[in-house]
C-alpha cells in the first residue's frame, strides 16, 4: 500500500504484538514461513516490559521514545543466535530484564529507566536485524520488507535501513499510520485474493489459529 513499485518475491520481517516471523513472499497469495517466535512476540515483550517500567499502553512507542534518552549499557541476552536458525525467542530476554530490575531494587539502587529501555530495545532490534539479513542471504533474495506494529520502531527501521544500504539490498517499510492498521491489511489481503479469483460465502468465519497460507 505504501510502495506500489514493490513486487514479489521478497523476504518479509513481520513484527507485531501477536507475530514475529520471517516470511518468504513468493507472490501475494503464496508464502513460505522461514522462521517465527517460539514464545512471546516482540511487540508483546515491548508491552510487558513497558508495564514493568511503569509506562502506559501501548508500550512499544513509549520504550522507543524513552530509549532515545538512554544508552544500551546493560548486556541483556540475545536468544537463538546460531547460524541458520531463523526462529525467535523473547521470553528469556523478558525474564532477564525483570530479574535485573528486581535485583537493582533489592540492592536499593535507583533504576535508570532510559538505560533499561535502550538496552532492552537494542537486544530485540539486534536479533531481528541479524536474522532478517541472514534469511535474505540464505534465500538469495535482494529485497526486505518490514511490516507489523513494531515496524514503527525508529531503532529497528534505522538499523534495517543501514544494513540494507551496506549490503546493496532494497528495503521497504510502511508509513507509520499503516503499521497498526489491521483493516488496511485485511483489505489488501482480500484484494489480492479477489484478483486471484478466490471467493467465499457469507458463512465465512474467523479462525484465530489459522496458519499462514492455510484457508
pLDDT value at position 215?
A: 66
Torsion angle of alpha carbons 67, 70, 73, 75, nearest 10°? Answer: -20
Q: Measured between alpha carbons, how far is 6 from 170 in angstroms, rounded to an integer? A: 10
170, 164 Cβ separation under 8 angstroms: yes
Any bridge partners for residue 20, and if so which? 15
pLDDT value at position 213?
A: 66
Cell of 215: 484457508
126, 80 Cβ separation under 8 angstroms: no
pLDDT value at position 212?
A: 75
Closest alpha carbon to 123 in 64, 75, 59: 75
CA 177, 54, 89, 81 dihedral sign is positive
Torsion angle of alpha carbons 13, 120, 122, 81, nearest 10°? Answer: -60
pLDDT value at position 123?
A: 97
Q: In what order do the strands lie in the sheet with 10-15?
A: 30-36, 20-27, 10-15, 143-147, 170-172
Closest alpha carbon to 157 in 144, 175, 173, 168: 173
The counts of H helices and E strands in the chain are: 7, 5
- Residues of the chain with confidence (pLDDT) below 50: none
Q: Which helix (DSSP H) or strand (DSSP E) does residue 25 occupy?
A: strand 20-27
Amino acid at each position: 500500500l505504501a510502495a506500489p513499485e514493490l513486487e514479489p518475491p521478497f523476504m518479509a520481517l513481520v513484527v507485531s504484538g501477536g507475530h514475529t516471523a520471517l516470511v518468504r513472499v513468493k507472490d501475494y497469495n503464496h508464502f513460505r514461513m522461514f522462521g517465527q517466535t517460539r514464545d512471546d512476540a516482540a511487540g508483546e515483550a515491548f508491552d510487558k516490559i513497558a508495564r514493568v517500567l511503569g509506562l502506559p499502553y501501548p508500550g512499544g512507542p513509549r520504550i522507543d521514545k524513552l530509549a532515545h534518552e538512554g544508552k544500551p549499557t546493560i548486556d541483556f541476552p540475545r536468544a537463538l543466535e546460531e547460524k541458520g536458525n531463523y526462529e525467535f525467542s523473547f521470553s528469556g530476554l523478558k525474564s532477564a530484564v525483570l530479574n535485573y530490575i528486581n535485583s537493582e531494587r533489592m540492592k536499593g539502587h535507583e533504576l535508570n529507566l532510559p538505560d533499561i529501555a535502550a538496552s532492552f530495545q537494542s537486544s530485540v532490534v539486534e536479533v531481528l536485524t541479524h536474522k532478517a539479513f541472514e534469511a535474505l542471504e540464505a534465500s538469495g533474495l535482494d529485497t526486505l520488507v518490514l511490516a507489523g506494529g513494531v515496524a514503527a520502531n525508529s531503532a529497528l527501521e534505522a538499523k534495517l535501513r543501514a544494513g540494507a544500504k551496506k549490503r546493496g539490498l532494497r528495503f521497504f517499510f510502511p508509513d507509520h499510520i499503516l503499521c497498526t492498521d489491521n483493516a488496511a491489511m485485511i483489505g489488501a489481503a482480500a484484494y489480492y485474493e479477489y484478483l486471484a479469483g478466490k471467493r467465499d460465502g457469507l458463512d465465512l468465519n474467523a479462525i484465530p489459529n489459522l496458519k499462514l497460507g492455510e484457508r
